[in-house]
Amino acid sequence: MQEQDTRDNDWEANNKQNTLRLAWWTAAWVITMAIANFGAHFLWKANSALTLAAILVNLAVGVGMIMANRRHLKGLDEMQQKIQLEAMALSLGVGLIGGLAYSNLDVTNLIAFDAEISHLVILMALTYMVGIATGVRRYR
């Protein structure tokens, strides 16, 4: 039983490690995103080569974040994976339908301001969080 406990506690430890790894990759991605966005204005005064390099670094870190997220998801148990799947499906659906409708509002000049991609990201993030909260409550 003790040997079993040790082996199985490794599963929990791996999950915590996967979550921590994902958090670090996400933080790195956000930082490189900020550098790619604001660097041209505040750090290197519109040097195209540096701007391109910053964007490429952001892309590379983004790939790392995707891999870390995949590893994190694969490490979850089947109910947690189901909750994640349902939340991601909701987020993707709302993002696609809502995003295109929002774009149509902009294209047809029914809204006075530009439809920004950041608004879509916020919508998808909020929908994902609502999906996770709903799933956790459903199986409680």
15 with 76: CB under 8 angstroms?
yes
Q: How far is the CB of 103 from another protein (least distance, A)?
A: 38
Question: Considering the rule CB under 8 A, would residue 3 count as an interface residue with another protein?
Answer: no
Question: Considering the rule CB under 8 A, would residue 136 count as an interface residue with another protein?
Answer: yes
Listed residue (122, 121, 117, 127) closest to 91, CA to CA:
127
Give the C-alpha separation, 57 to 16, whole Å.
27
Judged by CB, which is closer to another protein: 45, or 140? 140
Answer left, alpha or beta for residue 10, where phi above 0 means left and psi between -120 and 50 means alpha: alpha
What x/- string results for residues 18 through 57 when contact with another protein is judged by CB under 8 A?
----------------------------------------
Give the C-alpha separation, 106 to 115, whole Å.
6
Q: Select the span of 52-60, 61-69, 76-84, 109-117 touching another protein (CB under 8 A).
A: 76-84
DSSP-derived 3-state class of residue 45: coil
Q: Select the span of 35-43, 61-69, 74-82, 87-95 touching another protein (CB under 8 A).
A: 74-82
User: Where does this chain bind another protein (CB under 8 A)?
Assistant: 4-5, 8-9, 11-12, 77-80, 82, 136, 138-140
